[in-house]
Amino acid sequence: MDTQNAFNETQSSHDRLKELKEFDEGKLGVKGLVDAGIQKIPGIFVRPIEDRLKDFGTYSDDISVPVIDFSHFGENEDRTAEIIKETIMASKEWGFFQVINHGIPKELLELMIERSRMFHEQDAETKKLFYSRDFQSKHVYFFSNHDLYQSKAANWRDTLYVNARLTNGEVDPQELPPIYKDVTLEYVNHIHKLADLILMSISLGLGLEPECLGNMAKCTKSWAIINSYYPACPEPELTIGLDAHVDTSFITLLLQDNIGGLQVLHEKKWVNVEPISGALIVNFGKILQMITNDMIKGICHRVIAKTIGRRISIAINYNGIYSSEKIHGPIKELTSEENPPIYKKFSTEGLIKSFFSKSLDEVGANLDEFKL
Ligand code: OGA
Ligand code: NI
């Protein structure tokens, strides 16, 4: 690099840091920029050209993630066996599927989306009070881009995070935003039960005891909610809603509104997860992949930015009891001489701390550091 280039490089990283700080100190996230009327996206959101070029020609329009009808699960033997078979196939082939007829009232799903939207669209001064980057100890907080200072380009998304992991699943209702509190507490109870059912159906499909995965995930004690808000973007082709990543979780249950934009990587192509009214999206993360010794894989997904709408999604992650002890390792029954353990034992705390200390594009899908 010649001196002039070196100078420009330093200058631009200096400017970038300044822009990042200004954005962070504004405490209003991406929505704050859109409300201010910007017509061009700020430089901090522009993805490197080589990353954008890599995306060309990688779409697959003619397939979609499996949809599983969960009605009568556990009520009728044949039906239950069928659902288990479908779930295990979808989990192995896709690691991502949608569930319909899961028993959670549609009105509650709609209310949950509405309340999440109301949080993000409330009066700016009130919302600012929730802004924080204290990812290790706060329970309820609002921010934009947990990896703002680490990533190559910021994502076009804001987040309200509710972390019940540090309190064994008990959130203090006083800490929740008032407009969002009651619906959320009701919603999570339903989702915990559904997560347990899905883990049960996978346990059975893998030939394990029905409670095996549920007992490890301890859903009611290990949950966190990620309420995402993706504002309409004036230049969506230059940025992204959420960088490609694999969740850390055992299992994630996601509710999306009707805007769309979520895509999963399937056979090296990005496939849209089409919004289905009343459906919940299920996906698996690195923890499930490691404990099932690669039988079920954590799948890479991302969200593209769009010019239309403002998208709401609500993800609940289950990551197992928050502990620094290495309590998770490959399930014995899933390993054998021909199928030796692939991964070391690990702790949920270790994984989560590592997740929050790196950028999403760096966390990626790679599990090499955990291999034996
Ligand atoms: C996530 C995630 C997808 C979405 O928060 O991990 O993948 O649709 N969200 O917002
Ligand atoms: Ni995700």
- CA 53 to ligand 1 centroid distance, Å: 23
* Cβ contact 255:113 at 8 Å: yes
pLDDT at 78: 95
For residue 68, the cross-strand partners are 99
pLDDT single digits (tens) 237-283: 999 999 999 999 999 999 999 999 999 999 989 999 999 999 999 99
* Cβ contact 179:122 at 8 Å: yes
* Cβ contact 241:155 at 8 Å: yes
Ligand 1 atom 9: residue of nearest CA: 315
Q: Verify whether ligand 1 is closer than 6 Å to residue 316 (CB atom).
A: no
pLDDT at 368: 86
Is the pTM higher than 0.85? The answer reads yes
Count CB-CB contacts under 10 A for residue 40.
10
* Cβ contact 158:31 at 8 Å: yes
Ligand 1 atom 1: residue of nearest CA: 315
Strand order in the sheet with 242-245: 59-60, 269-272, 262-266, 301-303, 242-245
Query: Which residue from 252, 274, 311 has its CB within 8 A of the most atoms of ligand 1, so it is best to mutate?
Result: 252
pLDDT at 351: 86
**Region 34-370: CATH code:** 2.60.120.330
Confidence of residue 9 (pLDDT cuts 50, 70, 90): low
- pLDDT over 80 (residue 363): no
What percent of the chain stands above pLDDT 90? 82
Q: Verify whether ligand 1 is closer than 6 Å to residue 256 (CB atom).
A: yes
Distance CA 247, CA 30 (A): 23
239: left (phi over 0), alpha (psi -120 to 50) or beta: beta
Distance CA 271, CA 273 (A): 7
Ligand nearest to the CA of 281: 1
The tokens describing 210, both together, are: 């029905």
What percent of the chain stands above pLDDT 70? 97
The tokens describing 247, both together, are: 């969740």
Q: Verify whether ligand 1 is closer than 6 Å to residue 99 (CB atom).
A: no
Ligand nearest to the CA of 298: 2
Q: Verify whether ligand 1 is closer than 6 Å to residue 263 (CB atom).
A: no
- CA 253 to ligand 2 centroid distance, Å: 10
pLDDT at 35: 97
Distance CA 213, CA 198 (A): 10
Which atom of ligand 1 is least distant from the CA of 262? 8
CA dihedral 23, 26, 27, 29 (to 10 degrees): -50
Distance CA 251, CA 248 (A): 9
* Cβ contact 272:260 at 8 Å: yes
pLDDT single digits (tens) 109-134: 999 999 999 999 999 999 999 999 99
The tokens describing 131, both together, are: 């802004």
pLDDT at 6: 57
Burial class of residue 31, CB neighbours in 10 A (0-12, 13-18, 19+)? buried
Ligand nearest to the CA of 159: 1
Ligand nearest to the CA of 286: 2
Confidence of residue 90 (pLDDT cuts 50, 70, 90): very high
pLDDT single digits (tens) 20-46: 999 999 999 999 999 999 999 999 999
pLDDT at 366: 78
Q: Verify whether ligand 1 is closer than 6 Å to residue 301 (CB atom).
A: yes
For residue 140, the cross-strand partners are 162
102: left (phi over 0), alpha (psi -120 to 50) or beta: alpha
Q: Verify whether ligand 1 is closer than 6 Å to residue 262 (CB atom).
A: yes
**For 186-214, what is the mean pLDDT?**
97
Please tell me the chain's helix, strand, coil percentages from 3-state DSSP, rounded to the nearest 5: 40, 20, 40
Would you call 43 helix, strand, or coil by DSSP?
helix
Top pLDDT among 1 and 137 is at 137
On average, the pLDDT of the chain sits at: 93
Domain spans in the chain, listed from the N-terminal domain onward: 34-370
CA dihedral 371, 299, 358, 38 (to 10 degrees): 170
User: Which positions ≥6 away from 94 have C-beta within 8 Å?
Assistant: 65, 66, 264, 266, 299
pLDDT at 192: 98
**For 53-63, what is the mean pLDDT?**
81
CA dihedral 206, 189, 160, 266 (to 10 degrees): 20
pLDDT single digits (tens) 315-348: 999 999 888 888 899 999 999 999 999 999 999 8
